[in-house]
Amino acid sequence: MKRLLIAEGSEDLAALFRAALPAHEILIDMPQPGEAPIDYLVVGRPKAGLMVALPEVKLILSLNAGIEHLLRSGEIAEKTPIVRMVDDGLAEGMTEWVLAEALSWHRNIRLYERFQRELRWQPQAEKLAHERIVTILGAGALGTPVARHFVAFGFKTRVWSRSGRAIEGAQSFAGRDSLVAAVTGADILVNLLPLTTETENIVGSDLFNAQARGGFFINGARGGHVVDADLIAAVDSGQLSGAVLDVFRIEPLPESDPFWRHPDIRVSPHVAAPTHPRIAVLEIARNVMRFERGEAIPHLVDKTSGY
């Protein structure tokens, strides 16, 4: 019987796995010396040393879309494949969150909430979607559905990625040399990139200054993409009218962080695209069965590119 270990898992999560993989032994505790080896390891953010203690693992399955912490741990053997968590629930959740924040800014909803608290009746000049430019950084499993929804709403949509993946109705940009051009004049900038050595600190003053004055920034990817001081400076100067951040370099966000108290930067506690246990378990179970049948597994991590 194949054995699957859920690192720091709960009995509730184990019960879902036992229902999805009835022919497998599901564990939430580390095996004892002399026990049969672990074949599959399901991880979120594992403690240091875990993967070193399990060198026989054949497949690592992440509960998260982001896997930069696994690669940077230095504990995973080069031969051991890693599968990112990409499921319909993650894409749906991220699309809902990004569109909600973008439309709230586009239609001045947050501004009118502030005016209500101040007892101010002050209508603003309103634009239609086709008068706005949206640039999305990332054309993967999250960026692609988000871009398609912006297109459906009528926004002038641009997508920047390493490969220049084509998305119907959107203008595609490829490679670092085209990054500033992709952002130039954008009213809304959305970051949905994977975090790698190449994309760390990729969103800074050069991109904020390229946006349309008074634009808006949405970060649903990773805190490490953004130069925090540059974002605060862009908002303080009026180059950006505001930003919403769901991810941060340190989480939970320390109470001393200036983002908490900035009137034009909204803090969201990493809830844009939460993992839904039932959906995630079914996706992992499908990948385990694919592995055992010798079939191709989607969303295998390319350790060279970092995602």
Q: Which positions are catalytic?
A: 222, 270
Instruction: Report the C-alpha gap between 174 and 197 in whole angstroms.
Output: 18
Residues 6 or more apart whose Cβ sits within 8 Å of residue 252: 269
Q: Report residue 84 as tokens.
A: 């990112």
Question: How many Cβ atoms sit within 10 Å of the Cβ of residue 280?
Answer: 22
Task: Tell me which DSSP letter residue 25 carries.
Answer: E
Helical (H) or strand (E) element with 101: helix 88-106
| Maximum Cα–Cα distance across the chain | 73
Integer Cα distance of 75 and 238 in angstroms: 45
82-83: strand order across its sheet: 25-27, 3-6, 40-43, 59-62, 82-83
Dihedral (CA of 82, 83, 84, 85) sign: negative
From the list 272, 249, 271, 268, the residue with the least C-alpha distance to 201 is: 249
Residue pair 272/94 in contact by the 8 Å Cβ criterion: yes
Token pair 């390891």 is at which residue? 41
CA angle centred on 184, ends 180 and 190, rounded to 5°: 80
